[in-house]
Amino acid sequence: MASLKQFCIVFNKSSATYEPGEIVTGRIIIDATKEKHVKGLYFTVNGSAFVHWLENDAIDDIRSHSFSGKEEYFNFKHNILGISASQTGHTISHGRTEYSFSFRLPCDIPCSFEHDTGYVRYTMKVVLERAFKFNHECKAAFSVVSRFDLNLYREKCFAIHDETNKNFNCLCWVGQGSISLQIMVPCTGYVPGQIITTTIHYTSTPDIPIRKLSTKLLRTAHFRTLSNTMVHKKVLKKNRHMPPFPTHGRITSEILVPPIAPSDLQYCSIIDLEYEVIVTVHISGPYSKMKRHYPVLIGTIPLYRPALTLLHRGVASSTPLVAQPAVVTTSTPGPSSASNSPLQDRITASTAYLDIPPPSYEVGSSETPDIRDIHESEFVFGANIPFSPKYPVYNYPAPRLPNERL
């Protein structure tokens, strides 16, 4: 592709992150070293989910079984130069040429997600069609963040106040004792950027020493096909507390929620996400550990706390976007005049009425090494670049226990 210095897609949002129903705008940049006669120029936009994994045969370890599944949310094509140009041809001049584009995303589509076993991915591909020659192609991925408003699920974001006790006995009654735990979590609904505060009050007898105490944020991903399900667990964050542990004590563990996809992955039937906080007390000697599991919801809009309204004055004032079916508008050559203001990178429609500061966008921990499809050429511009979805991250405190300060 030496005849092209540059062939790429630039989204007008620097974060390249959008909500369902939002209009996506940007530019297609072509920088040619010489005049090029082409048959046509068009782009396609695709949103789909895909899962795939291998499992060893239960009898023959040499054999393996392949499982895969796919669902498509939308796929459409738009001719940038028009239908007439594809019949008569078109000349792209030497140097840099820009074509603006815009299209609207459908409403009921799931949030972007990347994993080794499967993904929910949204891509745009531009094809420079040439007669009797290989086409020039470029590709780019963008993030979609579906709303998961925790305020609509307040009944599921309850506080945790859990008490448990365990007695330990050893041979000949040597080392007999017990441990009592009181575990408190102020709520079970969070967004990335918030801190999950777990307070643990413990009481142990001298013969039952605590060796370690840990808290984890665990993600469980379910990947489904028509005939099988793969379950993958990953510890996203972990805190450890080491000795000394007196016989009575209180430990406060804080876990910062990283940029991650929301719970459930709504509108996707082949991938499901669950999150939970796990508290584990490790005990010295021959005793088993104590472990407690607490499911939590991860959303994209935080629980509103009226008491914090005066603490956060940066309230966005834009009007909500109107979600409509995907419609492509006509693109015309020439540089785009759209602004790259940081205000365009904020989800204001979801948070303005709640007086919640708009989020920033941060790259998640899950990454794909490339965005190439199975049958796609390795010479597609941009297809071999790693991609990681971005998720909204809030600077807005999570609910606290009644005796804690804001």
Q: Do 125 and 219 have their domain in common?
A: no
Higher pLDDT, 137 or 88: 137
Is residue 31 in a domain? yes
- With b for 16 or more beta-carbon neighbours within 10 A and e for fewer, the 134-165 pattern comes to eebbbbbbbbbbbbbbbeeeeeebeebeeeee
pLDDT recorded at residue 87: 62
Is residue 402 in a domain? no
- Residues 236 and 219: beta-carbon distance below 8 Å: yes
Higher pLDDT, 332 or 231: 231
Q: Do 111 and 167 have their domain in common?
A: no
Q: Do 44 and 107 have their domain in common?
A: yes
Give 283's strand partners.
210
pLDDT recorded at residue 221: 97
pLDDT recorded at residue 403: 60
pLDDT, tens digit (0-9, with 9 covering 90-100), for 119-130: 999 999 999 988
Domain of 280 in residue numbering reads as: 150-298
Could you tell me the CATH number of the domain that includes residue 289? 2.60.40.640
Confidence of residue 37 (pLDDT cuts 50, 70, 90): confident
Is residue 163 in a domain? yes
Q: Which of 182-186, 241-245, 352-356, 374-378 has the highest mean pLDDT?
A: 182-186
Residue 314 pLDDT more than 60? no
Q: Token match 């840990």: residue?
A: 214
Q: Which of 126, 299, 289 is nearest to 209 (CA)?
A: 289
Lowest mean pLDDT among 14-18, 84-88, 204-208: 84-88
Question: What span, in angstroms and rounded, lies between the C-alpha atoms of 222 and 180?
Answer: 34
In total, the chain counts a number of residues equal to 406
Is residue 336 in a domain? no
Cis peptide before 399 (omega within 30 of 0): no
Is residue 97 in a domain? yes
> What DSSP line would sit under 122-170, residue for residue?
EEEEEEEE-TTSPPEEEEEEEEE----BGGGGGGGS--EEEEEEEEE--
* pLDDT averaged over every residue in the chain: 83
Confidence of residue 200 (pLDDT cuts 50, 70, 90): very high
Is residue 57 in a domain? yes
User: And the tokens for 38?
Assistant: 């082409």
Q: What is the mean pLDDT of residues 59-75?
A: 88
- Residues 120 and 265: beta-carbon distance below 8 Å: yes
Confidence of residue 83 (pLDDT cuts 50, 70, 90): low
pLDDT recorded at residue 239: 94
Question: What span, in angstroms and rounded, lies between the C-alpha atoms of 167 and 173?
Answer: 12
User: And the tokens for 129?
Assistant: 């069609």
Residue where a domain stops, chosen among 298, 332, 350: 298
User: What is the sign, positive or negative, of the torsion defined by CA atoms of 85, 87, 88, 93?
Assistant: positive
Residue where a domain stops, chosen among 282, 298, 314: 298
SS3 267: coil
Lowest mean pLDDT among 197-201, 288-292, 299-303: 288-292
Residue 247 pLDDT more than 90? no
Q: Do 138 and 159 have their domain in common?
A: no
Confidence of residue 341 (pLDDT cuts 50, 70, 90): very low
Q: Which of 192, 197, 193 is nearest to 399 (CA)?
A: 197
Q: Do 274 and 294 have their domain in common?
A: yes
Is residue 346 in a domain? no
Higher pLDDT, 53 or 341: 53
Confidence of residue 283 (pLDDT cuts 50, 70, 90): confident
Q: Do 112 and 212 have their domain in common?
A: no
Question: What span, in angstroms and rounded, lies between the C-alpha atoms of 366 and 59?
Answer: 34
Residue 399 pLDDT more than 60? yes
Question: What span, in angstroms and rounded, lies between the C-alpha atoms of 112 and 395?
Answer: 22
Q: Do 140 and 159 have their domain in common?
A: no
- Residues 351 and 340: beta-carbon distance below 8 Å: no
Is residue 325 in a domain? no
* Rg value, the chain, Cα: 26
Q: What is the mean pLDDT of residues 93-110?
A: 93
> What is the tally of structural domains in the chain?
2
Confidence of residue 362 (pLDDT cuts 50, 70, 90): very high
Tell me, yes or no, if the pTM score tops 0.85: no
Q: Do 33 and 131 have their domain in common?
A: yes
Q: Do 164 and 124 have their domain in common?
A: no
Higher pLDDT, 11 or 247: 11
- Rounded to an integer, what is the distance from CA 212 to the centroid of its chain? 32
pLDDT recorded at residue 311: 36
Q: What is the mean pLDDT of residues 68-87?
A: 84
Q: Do 225 and 143 have their domain in common?
A: no
Higher pLDDT, 142 or 245: 142
| Angle in degrees, CA 360, 328, 83, rounded to 5 | 140
**What are the backbone dihedrals phi and psi of residue 83, each rounded to the nearest 5 degrees, phi first?**
-70, -35
Q: Do 72 and 165 have their domain in common?
A: no
The percent of residues above 70 in pLDDT, for the chain, comes to: 82
- Residues 166 and 292: beta-carbon distance below 8 Å: no
Higher pLDDT, 86 or 356: 356
Residue where a domain stops, chosen among 244, 270, 298: 298
Q: Do 135 and 159 have their domain in common?
A: no
Amino acid 41 reads L
Burial-class residue 402 by CB neighbours within 10 Å (0-12, 13-18, 19+): exposed
Q: What is the mean pLDDT of residues 8-20?
A: 96
Say what the alpha-carbon torsion angle 16, 19, 21, 27 is, to the nearest 10 degrees.
-10
> What DSSP line would sit under 272-327, residue for residue?
EEEEEEEEEEEESTTPPPEEEEEEEEE-SBPPP-GGGGGG------PPPPPP----
Amino acid 188 reads T
pLDDT recorded at residue 157: 92
Find the largest Cα–Cα distance for the chain: 95
Residue 178 pLDDT more than 60? yes
Give 66's strand partners.
54
